[in-house]
Amino acid sequence: MTNSNPSLVKIQGVSKAFRRGSEEIHVLDRLDLEVQQGEFLALMGPSGSGKSTLLNLIGGLDRAGTGSVEIGGERIDQLSDRALAAWRARHVGFVFQFYNLMAVLSAERNVELPLLLTHLSKKERMQHVEVALKVVGLAHRTHHFPRQLSGGEQQRVGIARAIVTDPTLLLCDEPTGDLDRKSGDEILGLLQTLNREQGKTIVMVTHDPHASARASRIVYLDKGQLSTQPPA
């Protein structure tokens, strides 16, 4: 680890198990992870290795069985559901593989969604939306609906939605998994820009070595444990 920035994400001794019928599957096993402020971390591993589960724990979407999850010095595993929701609204932006835009809302109204949880006026919200869509290069498509946009454009709207509240942490779950190579490259370039120019800390789950190559660090998850080396 060469980055000298303070840790933004600090996970210690985290375990997570799921029940499948009578069987208990240990997805994460006393796992430790630190992500520095401003880092772009790629999280790789085979299917079912628990990458998304780990991402969900970092983002406060799920709760660990044991261990602690500390983000920006705050133990989010100890927050109530309501406090955790408020924390997510302030500190985290999510980018999903299938974009998860609301089909009935235009691009700008999709991006506006997280701002509905703030005290900003309609005018202020629209100003933020305009900036976010400009950052992702979609200022000219504000009134288009998801069905009128290409996959790459939809993912850009998804990224605009993730950054519109100016969160510290961006969590991306296979952000290029549903895109062709060209569009995927554009999205990865955009994430790199956000990381380098705006200092966003990014944790990206991916299967794709081409995508992970854009990250500043790669970790591999296999059999519930993290490693800096790909599994054999």
- Reading phi first (left if > 0) and then psi (alpha if -120 to 50, else beta), residue 51 is in alpha
Under the binding rule (CB under 8 A), the answer on residue 59 touching another protein is yes
Under the binding rule (CB under 8 A), the answer on residue 90 touching another protein is yes
Under the binding rule (CB under 8 A), the answer on residue 1 touching another protein is no
Residue (of 15, 121, 5, 140) closest to 66 by Cα position: 15
3-state secondary structure 37-79: CCCEEEEECCCCCCHHHHHHHHCCCCCCCEEEEEECCEEHHHC
Under the binding rule (CB under 8 A), the answer on residue 62 touching another protein is yes
Under the binding rule (CB under 8 A), the answer on residue 206 touching another protein is no
Of the candidates 4, 20, 22, 103, which one interacts with another protein according to CB under 8 A? Answer: 103
Under the binding rule (CB under 8 A), the answer on residue 113 touching another protein is yes
Q: Which two tokens stand for residue 159?
A: 């990224």
Total number of residues binding another protein (CB under 8 A)? 30
Under the binding rule (CB under 8 A), the answer on residue 97 touching another protein is yes
Chain residues in the site for another protein (CB under 8 A): 52-53, 56, 59, 61-62, 81-82, 85-90, 94, 96-98, 100, 102-105, 109, 113-114, 116-117, 122, 161
